[in-house]
Amino acid sequence: MQDIEYIVRQSLFVVILLLEIYGSFIIVFSSNRIFMLFLRTARDGTEARLNLASHLAMGLEFLLAAEIIRTIVIRSWTELQILGAVLLLRAILSVLIIWEIKQG
């Protein structure tokens, strides 16, 4: 039984790591691409700002998914509190970014 638990935990850590990598790549690569777009157009930046906000929201969704899956492998109350704070902050950021997109 302990072997199965170990395999499940290790598999979840791999999934969490992949989701965090995907989210980070989305944010980094789209930020670079949108910065180049902003330099080329050099107008008021509204289009670039909206594109960046939508890509940031997508990247944060991947990071938020990783944090949600991380709740499965939490072992202590302190870890759960820290994770809850991180989840809350990322959720607030996602809501603010989506609000910014709708306002734009």
Tell me which residue of 34, 31, 35, 12 sits closest to 23, measured CA to CA.
31
Residue 34 region, left (φ>0) first, then alpha (ψ -120 to 50), else beta?
Answer: alpha
**Residue whose pair of structure tokens reads 């997109």 in the numeric block:** 101
Average pLDDT over residues 29-57: 84
What does pTM read for this prediction?
0.78
Average pLDDT over residues 35-55: 81
For position 25, what pLDDT does the model report? 97
Q: What is the DSSP string of 24-82?
A: HHHHHHHHHHHHHHHHHH-SSSHHHHHHHHHHHHHHHHHHHHHHHHHGGG--SHHHHHH
Average pLDDT over residues 1-14: 87
For position 98, what pLDDT does the model report? 85
Average pLDDT over residues 62-82: 86
Task: Give dist(CA 103, CA 42) in Å, integer.
Answer: 21
Give 29's pLDDT tier (boundaries 50, 70, 90). Answer: very high
Asked if residue 19 has pLDDT above 90, the reply is: yes
